[in-house]
Each structure stands twice: as structure tokens, then as C-alpha cells.
Chains A and B, each alone.
Chain A
Amino acid sequence: AQSVTQLGSHVSVSEGALVLLRCNYSSSVPPYLFWYVQYPNQGLQLLLKYTSAATLVKGINGFEAEFKKSETSFHLTKPSAHMSDAAEYFCAVSSGNKLVFGAGTILRVKS
């Protein structure tokens, strides 16, 4: 069965610093992979998705993620953090007709 592991339940960065949120997946078949963001008291918003095209995927708000099959990873990055990036981020893998989510990483941005 497909599964997702997000390393680090909390990540803290300074404004302007690199953001790196880690995600490793377990899948028996080539997966579709997603990153979603959740702001307080809101639903999930799609940041980006990998669907077996280019391995480097660019998303909204300056985020990107690289699919590395050899490492079974799909880490999310942003070159320069902004205060508005503070939120919870979820990595997810497709599994048939559903998504399997990781436990989430809360990103804190310090001024």
C-alpha cells in the first residue's frame, strides 16, 4: 500500500531563508504526488503535483518540488521564505481513487 512520510512535524526558518520540507513515499507503482497547503481554519489548497512528466515541478507562490525515484523522495522547496508562507504543508500520494496524506509539517517563518 502507498504511504507517505514527512520528516519533521515542525520547521522554523527566518524570513528570506530557504524552505525545505521533506517527503518520502512508498509506492509499488509510479505514483502521482502532491503537495497541499493548509492555512489555519481553512481547507487544503494544491501547491503542485507530479504526474510523471518533468521531475522538477513548479507550483504556486514560488514553491517547487523534485521527484527523485532513486530516493523515493518529493521534497518541497522555496528559495526565500515569506511571512505569508507560515502554514501546514501536506505531502500526498495517489492510491487508486484516493490520496494518502502524510502527517503534515507546520512551517513557522520568523521575522
Chain B
Amino acid sequence: ETGVTQSPTHLIKTRGQQVTLRCSSQSGHNTVSWYQQALGQGPQFIFQYYREEENGRGNFPPRFSGLQFPNYSSELNVNALELDDSALYLCASSPNTGTSDVGELFFGEGSRLTVL
């Protein structure tokens, strides 16, 4: 069983640039969530994708956007990068159980973004 994989693992961008982070969900999982973990803080929910549509969003501006593909993989796009966007971006997948409450999330190892 393949776990959640993310790419790239590390990247450096400059302020104002755009970045795309990628995530492959665990086999059999159709729901993908993205979290931002700033240094010294807990992960913060960005958004969730289910059946290729956004299914809930946290307190992040519209320059944070995403996609989910038919194979359930996902992308996180951030435009007009700011210094405060420097963080570890975590992707998590889960099997949709049809309930409104989230169950266990399976996390990838993250993409560490540094904005200079």
C-alpha cells in the first residue's frame, strides 16, 4: 500500500512568485486536505478536495487555490508569494466515509517552502 507522497520536498521562491505543490493520495483514498504548518505552530487547515471539488476552506486568501484530479491526486497553488507563506505544507488523504466528521488523516512528509 503506497502512502501519501508530496513533491517537491524543499523549494525556495522569492516574494511575488507563484508555486505549485503536488500530492498523491494513499491508495483507496478519495479525499485530500492541505494544511500549512508555520515554524513553531500546529498545522492550519487550508482546504479539502473531494470528487475534484473544494469541500471546505480555512481562513486563507484566494491566492491559495487547489485542484484535485480524477486519480485523486491534488495540487496546491499559491500566487503572489509573501514572506509569511514560508512554511511546511502538508497534504493528508482520507477515505470518505459519508459522514460529516473527519476521521483519521494520513499525512505526507510535506513540502517545505521558503520565501525570500
Contact = CB atoms under 8 A, between A and B. Distances in A.
Interface of A: 4, 32, 34, 36, 41-46, 49, 51, 90, 92, 94-104
B43 A97 contact: no
B109 A103 contact: no
Contact of A98 (B58, B90, B108): B58
Contacts of A99: 43, 45, 102, 105
Contacts of A42: 109-110
B33 interface: yes
Contacts of A97: 33, 48, 55-56, 100-102
A44 B6 CA distance: 13
B104 A101 contact: no
B103 A100 contact: no
Contacts of A51: 103
A103 B105 CA distance: 18
Interface of B: 4, 33, 40-45, 48, 55-56, 58, 90, 92, 100-110
A98 B35 CA distance: 10
A44 B44 CA distance: 13
Contacts of A4: 42
A71 to B, nearest CB: 21
A98 B42 contact: no
Contact of B90 (A43, A94, A100, A104): A43
A103 B41 contact: yes
A99 B108 CA distance: 15
A104 B107 contact: no
A52 to B, nearest CB: 10
Contacts of B108: 43
B102 A90 contact: no
A44 B55 contact: no
Given A45-B107, A97-B56, A32 B43 contact: no
B101 A44 contact: no
A92 B101 CA distance: 13
A79 to B, nearest CB: 25
Contacts of B106: 46
A41 B112 CA distance: 9
